Structure 1
Amino acid sequence: AVRVGAARAQGVDAARAGWDGDEAEHWIACTDADSAVPPAWITSQLELADAGTDVVVGTVRPELEDLSPDQIAAWRATRVPGHANGHVHGANLGVRADAYVAAGGFPAVAEHEDVDLVSRLRDLDARITASAAGEVLTSSRREGRTPGGYAGYLHVSLLERARARERQRRRDAGCDSPCVPAG
């Protein structure tokens, strides 16, 4: 089984092995191999770190050209452009190294290692900032490494929610099948 958390932890451990000085002086910035960060991505995270943030949970957006119109509409319905929603994405995550160590780092789990880490950081009262600065473009691939990852979200969960909203809209309108209310 793929252990995404173990892979992230190995990368962080390798970087930390080459550091000198206090862990609080180092910043761990995470993204994914199938993602593209904007030019000011790291700068936006470091500015927040300099202001006292321990953790940055940043926004991501999928490659829209790879999605169906229903998927695009469903994704757009979940966000307000320019505003961070606070969702945790390994493709746009930053954490002060001392906070990372205090929380125990990324767990060796198959998925949601990023969410697990941020949850433990919250439990430690880390200063967490949701940020829309430095939004990361990430793949809209159909097959992810884990069923609960972003690919599964885009291609299963998001569409299921959109379909549920449409069914509720029809029920509210008194229709059992797709229809337009009379009036």
Structure 2
Amino acid sequence: MIGIIVPAHNEEAVVAQCIESLLLAGEHPALAGEEVCVVIVLDQCSDGTQRVVNRYPVQSLVVSHCNVGRTRAAGAESMLGQGARWLAFTDADTVVPATWLVDQLRFRTDAVCGTVRVDDWSLHGEEVRSRYDALYTPVEGHQHVHGANMGVSAQAYRQVGGFKPLKAHEDVHLVADLNQAGASITWTSINCVTTSARLDCRCREGFGDYLRSLSISAPLEAVS
């Protein structure tokens, strides 16, 4: 079984589009009918996210962590407990391509780190997009890490102890732990996901805050 984990905090407006893309990816014929389970981990949601999730054939898990590392880990443990051999991670404001899971599995490595593209730059000044494009390298062999586009085998995930209980950069730390443990990691751009550039980002020090830092007055610093 393949498990997909999506942390969500007040994502009523966007989670449906995310789920629909995940269900489509899970039906890809190249998966040969392997079971794909999606769990939306609802972390202190006070809006209608749960009602939206309930409309789809996915699982939901309610937590009160306010901590993305613990939230991703809770979803991962749920999927591992149900027998998942592969864990795929994305975010509730993200849409994945139909070949997302197929592309993760095709490499037959312990982990796959993919790239992201921004869906709408209208909330940011032109200098933000220009700086982002100058720093971001969506090519094979890139070294970017995104919780919105990551996959890892159950065996490798367990070996390193999973996500640390961090409020930010939990994805970067997981990949560093995998690398230190000698796991094989593929860095690819072929399964690029589309994510939000919204200003009201849910995770401090995450992708949204990085985009905000790319103002004309801020020093250039490459995205992780």
What band does the TM-score fall into relative to the shorter chain? 0.7 to 0.9
In structure 2, the residue matched to 1:7 is 71
CA contact (8 A) 1:56 1:94 kept: yes
Higher Cα Rg, which structure: 1
In structure 1, the residue matched to 2:119 is 63
Distance in 2 between residues matched to 1:100 and 1:118, nearest whole Å = 10
Query: Structure 1 residues 6, 163: closer, same or farther in 2, change over 3 A?
Result: closer
For residue 45 of structure 1, the aligned residue among 92, 98, 104 is: 104
What displacement does 1:27 show? 1.0
Please tell me the residue identity of whatever aligns with 2:204: P
Q: Percent identity?
A: 37
Please tell me the residue identity of whatever aligns with 2:130: A
- TM, length-normalised to structure 1: 0.78
- TM, length-normalised to structure 2: 0.64
26-35 or 65-74, larger mean C-alpha shift: 65-74
Structure 2 gaps, min length 5: 1-64
Distance in 2 between residues matched to 1:46 and 1:81, nearest whole Å = 19
122-131 or 141-150, larger mean C-alpha shift: 141-150
Superposed CA RMSD in Å reads 1.9
* Structure having greater relative contact order (Cα 8 Å, sep ≥ 6): 1
In structure 1, the residue matched to 2:89 is 30
Distance in 1 between residues matched to 2:90 and 2:141, nearest whole Å = 17
What displacement does 1:18 show? 1.1
Q: Which structure 2 residues correspond to residues 1-183 of structure 1 after superposition, within 5 A?
A: 2-19=66-83, 26-49=85-108, 53-66=109-122, 67-156=124-213, 158-159=214-215, 163-164=218-219
Please tell me the residue identity of whatever aligns with 1:133: I
Structure that is richer in helix per residue: 1
CA contact (8 A) 2:115 2:138 kept: no
Structure 1 gaps, min length 5: 166-183
